[in-house]
Structure formats: structure tokens, C-alpha cells
A and B are shown apart, each in its own frame.
Chain A
Amino acid sequence: MPDVIQVAQLTKHYPGARGAPPVRAVDGIEFAVRKGEVFGFLGPNGAGKTTTVRMLTGLTRPTAGSARILGFDLATEVTQIKKRIGVVPETSNLYDELSAFDNLVFSMQLYGVPRRERRARAEELLARFRLSEKRDVPFAQLSRGMKRALTVAAALAHRPPLLFLDEPTTGLDVMSARSLRGMIADLRREGVTVFLTTHYLEEAERLCDRIALIVQGRIVALDTVDGLKARLPARPAVEATLADGNGRIAMLRFEGRSVEEATQAALAQAAAEGRQVVALNTPRPTLEDVFVYLTGLSAEVMLAEKGKT
């Protein structure tokens, strides 16, 4: 199966502000996205995620490098590509003046969905994204989460086999974000290939088949979640929850050459201090551990709330 996206040495430099050197927003990245997978593009603010999406969707020209998308060359066949992709930009950008329904219909008109299919498809998408009640409400009057959902619906209106999602859940409350993630998981089941940028580690871990970690315009790692975790040097450890005579609880971490050795260390310390082991657990590395290990950055940079729509 040929890859849906193939990127070679893709680069984008922006001219720097007065006197400053150029900004290397994206710096020679290479990767391939396989058919049917959810490919995560995970990185902190300013890493170059949006710039990459904008290049791959024809909104901005690469400074250097090339890409093939769905078999078409980005430099020469961009209209062929545009016909076959759906894009959800960082900011929900449907028409404030048009109703939810009319926005979907207009999207379909632009992409040449036949007239007889448009109405039914629009109703179907509204139902699927739980927006049927808001059918005739202008986009401007929807809540942020509804706007996001409708923007995703509009991107799907012409049934593209490849969908770009730029931070789909940023700025949403927990419930809306969870519901949107459920919809992304559904798309994968339907065979849609998804290119997803995010700065939420746990979102990437939950949704993505493979993840590229991007920092300062470069990909520092690209693998499955398990593959990424396997890169952490094996440091067998146990977490022991200890209780003293007064019922005070403490959680301690013990390391060793093996889990057995770490467990023995925990038991030995508990015995020496007259404390009781109430729970033992072998922590699995999280994506956060991997991120911190591979980038040397604190995981907090990924969690900074950006308050975008």
C-alpha cells in the first residue's frame, strides 16, 4: 500500500523581524503517513505544526523540499490534492452569517458534491455531530465546541479520504473534547487517514497509531506509542505506598536492576522503618516521560493552555 503522505526535506523559513535572522519554522522534516492511520504530529507551541499543515494543504509554499499526497505532487498538482483532502484549521473559520446547514451545503458546493446529495449529507452530518437542533442557527451564535464540531463536519462533507486536523480539541471543555476524540476514533474505523496535530500528550497517546514528535521545526522521534516508550532506557522500578502506625500514607519510588530487586528494596525499607506496604505497583512509562527524555524539555511546555477557539 503506497503511503498517503510522503514528505522529503520539507522546509519553511519566514523572514525574520527587522534585522533578526530568518525563522526556521520547519527545518527539513521527513516522514510518511500510511493509509488508514491516525498520524499524530505532537509538539509544543511554535514547533512548526501549523506551518507543516499549511504547506501540505497548499496554503503556503515550502521554502524547500517536496511532498506527495495521495499520489499527487504538492508542487505541481495541488488542485488534485485539494479536491481529496479535508482540513480543519487551528481556528474554526466557517461563515458567521450562514446557518450551520448552509455552511455545510456551501462546503459541498465548492467541492462539487452533486446537488441531489447535498441536503441529505448535510442533515446526516448535523445528526452525527449532534447539531441537528442548531441546523438553522448562524455559525456566529454557536458555542465554541459546536463551532469546532461543525468545522470538522464541513471538512468531511465531500468525503475526503485524508483529513488534516490542526489542534481539534484545544480550547474545548472536557466533555466536548472527549466527544470530538470519539468522532476522530470513528473516522479511523471508517478508513479515513487522519493527520492530527496536538500538544496534548494524552490525546496523542489515546488516538494515534504513530506519533511524530516535533520540536523547533525538527522531528526528534517518530514511532508508535509503544515504540516511543521502548526508547526509554529500561529502569525497572516499583512505586510503593507505605503507611505508618498513625495511618499516614506516603508513596515512594524504588529502582533496581530488576522489578524483583526494586520490590525487595521497598519491602526492606518498610520493615526497617516499621511501616506497612499497602500497595505496590510497577509504573509504565507515559508519553510524558518519553517526551521529557527525548526533548530535554519539561512536559509543562506541552500543557500550557492556549485558549484558542
Chain B
Amino acid sequence: MWRDDLRGMFYIALKDLRAYYLKPPNISWGILFPFAFVLAFAIRNPGELRDLVPGLLALTLLFGTSSMEAIVIVFERRTGALERLLLAPLRLSALLAGKLLGGMAFGLTVTAAVLAIALAAFGVGSVNWPLLILALLLSAAAFSALGAFVSVAVREVFEAQTLANFIRFPMMFLGGIFVPLGSMSPALRVVACLLPLTYAVEALRAAMDGRVTSATALDLAVLAAFAVVLFGAAVRTLARHIE
């Protein structure tokens, strides 16, 4: 049972990467979009460009993992190909974990490229590597689970894109990338606390600056909780399709 699940998960992720993620337009959009966004911001607010790096990483990861992830499942449901996976000898949770893994692998690859560029430009400084890797992994899991949930919750591909953007764009502005949490109104700060991106940015900032506090552990825990809850919700929603 476990062996079937693990094997299925691995090959589903691999297949998704080959069939969808590693297509040229997807790769360039994954990298270009966050860069363009941050650049636009930096031009209007020249100053410490380096401070924007954690936000840039978090954005790249968010868009890299969730853009394709949010449409793969609904797309395959439309074409009927999802049925092939539902017929295969593996549990629903393993099927979805495979989808999740594909999104994470792609998002992390693109983010690693962006990280390399940022480090080359600004120097390595006092990066806390174990923390950085953990923060990237947990953020990728949370964002990918968000994408998976969006994908099983809708019926049409365009609905998935709309819903994903409806969730992601407010996150970009309230996630502490461009506006620090401290300077938000209390009401907005409450909203910010409900968004996974906020915790990803915080954790990545701590890792990049090498300043680890007890708040960082909380950030990581919250990211893990987001991943688990969203994944569980996605599995339950997919199970309802089989009624």
C-alpha cells in the first residue's frame, strides 16, 4: 500500500513536471513575473534593494508553485486524464501529494535560480542556510497546497485562475513585502496574520539576515499548519468528486 502510494506520487510529480511545468513559457513566466513586479516597486521606491530579496523569493515561490498547480487538476479533470490517476492503485492523498510535489519541485527550482542571482548581486552575507532551506520547503508546501485546493475546488480552468489571483494579489500587498507589517492599520494587520505569505516573508527575512528569534519558529510552524490544513481540505474536496 505505502509502496504503491510513494511510487505513484513520485511518478505523478515527474509526469506533471515534464508535461506541464518544464514548458518554456511556464518557466519564463515563473521567473519574469516576480522580477518585473519587484523592479517596478524598486524604481518607484529607490533605497535598500537588498531588503526586497526575501519578498522577491517569497513571491517567486508563491507564483512558481501555485500558478500551474492551481490549474493542473482542474485541467486534467476537463480532459478526462484525471480519471487515469483515479483508476490507478493509489490513495487519493497520494495522488494529490504527487501533484503537490510537482508544484513544489518547480517552484523551488525557479526560486533557487532567483536566489542565486540575488546572492551574486548582494553577496552571501550572514545567511542562515538550514533555516533558509527549511523556510523555503515549508513555504513551498503551503503555497502548493493552496494551489491544489484551488484546483479541486473549481470546475473550469478560468475559474481556477480567477480564484488563485483573488487569493494571491491581496497577499502580495498585505504579506509584508512592500509595506512592513508594523506600518499597517490594526485591521489590515489582522488580515495579514491570516495569510501564509506573511509567514513565508518573515521566515525568509530571518534566514537571509541570519537573525533567528522565537518568532521564526512560530512562522515555520504556521507555514506547516497551512500546508497540512489546505492539503487535507483538498483531499476531502477531491473525495467528494467520487460520490
Contact count band on A:
20 to 34
Q: Which stretch from A94-102, A178-186, A240-248 is at the chain B interface?
A: A94-102
Q: A79-B89, A106-B11 are in contact. Are A95 and B19 (CB under 8 A)?
A: yes
From B3, B87, B88, residue with most partner A Cβ within 10 Å:
B87
Once the chains bind, are B90 and A98 in contact (CB under 8 Å)? no
Once the chains bind, are B80 and A59 in contact (CB under 8 Å)? no
In the assembled complex, the Cα of A96 lies from the Cα of B18 at a distance in Å of 12
CB distance from B236 to the nearest CB of A (A): 15
Q: A60-B242, A110-B90 are in contact. Are A79 and B79 (CB under 8 A)?
A: no
Once the chains bind, are B81 and A95 in contact (CB under 8 Å)? yes
Is B1's beta carbon under 8 Å from chain A? yes
**Interface mask (B1-20 → A, CB under 8 Å = 1, otherwise 0):** 10110011001100100111
Once the chains bind, are B7 and A112 in contact (CB under 8 Å)? yes
Once the chains bind, are A59 and B242 in contact (CB under 8 Å)? yes
List of B residues within 8 angstroms of A109 by Cβ: 7, 11, 15
Once the chains bind, are A93 and B84 in contact (CB under 8 Å)? yes
Interface residues of A in 45-60 (CB under 8 A from B): 57-60
List of A residues within 8 angstroms of B79 by Cβ: 93, 96
CB distance from B71 to the nearest CB of A (A): 13
Interface residues of B in 132-168 (CB under 8 A from A): none
CB distance from B9 to the nearest CB of A (A): 10
In the assembled complex, the Cα of A97 lies from the Cα of B16 at a distance in Å of 10
Once the chains bind, are B80 and A79 in contact (CB under 8 Å)? no
Once the chains bind, are B90 and A107 in contact (CB under 8 Å)? no
List of A residues within 8 angstroms of B4 by Cβ: 79, 83, 112
Chain B residue nearest to A58 in the complex (CB): B87
Chain B residue nearest to A151 in the complex (CB): B84
Is B85's beta carbon under 8 Å from chain A? yes
Once the chains bind, are B84 and A111 in contact (CB under 8 Å)? no
List of A residues within 8 angstroms of B3 by Cβ: 112
**Interface mask (A281-297 → B, CB under 8 Å = 1, otherwise 0):** 00000000000000000
Is A159's beta carbon under 8 Å from chain B? no
Selected contact of B88 from candidates A60, A61, A89, A110, CB within 8 Å: A110
Q: A83-B4, A98-B15 are in contact. Are A111 and B88 (CB under 8 A)?
A: yes
CB distance from B96 to the nearest CB of A (A): 15
CB distance from A176 to the nearest CB of B (A): 20
Interface residues of B in 71-94 (CB under 8 A from A): 79-81, 83-91
Is B48's beta carbon under 8 Å from chain A? no
In the assembled complex, the Cα of A176 lies from the Cα of B224 at a distance in Å of 53
In the assembled complex, the Cα of A291 lies from the Cα of B89 at a distance in Å of 38
Interface residues of B in 84-115 (CB under 8 A from A): 84-91
List of B residues within 8 angstroms of A141 by Cβ: none
Once the chains bind, are A79 and B90 in contact (CB under 8 Å)? yes
Q: A60-B243, A79-B89, A109-B11 are in contact. Are A97 and B19 (CB under 8 A)?
A: yes
Once the chains bind, are A61 and B7 in contact (CB under 8 Å)? no
CB distance from A246 to the nearest CB of B (A): 59
Once the chains bind, are B11 and A82 in contact (CB under 8 Å)? no
Selected contact of A79 from candidates B1, B12, B84, B85, CB within 8 Å: B1
What is A's interface to B at a CB cutoff of 8 Å? 57-61, 79-80, 82-83, 87, 89, 91, 93-98, 102, 106-107, 109-112
> Other than the known A79-B4, A79-B91, A109-B15, what 5 A-B pairs have Cβ atoms closer than 8 Å?
A60-B243, A95-B81, A97-B20, A110-B85, A111-B89
22 contacts between A and B (CB under 8 A): A58-B86, A58-B87, A59-B86, A59-B87, A61-B242, A79-B4, A79-B90, A79-B91, A80-B89, A82-B88, A83-B4, A93-B80, A95-B19, A95-B81, A98-B19, A109-B7, A110-B8, A110-B11, A110-B85, A110-B88, A110-B90, A111-B89
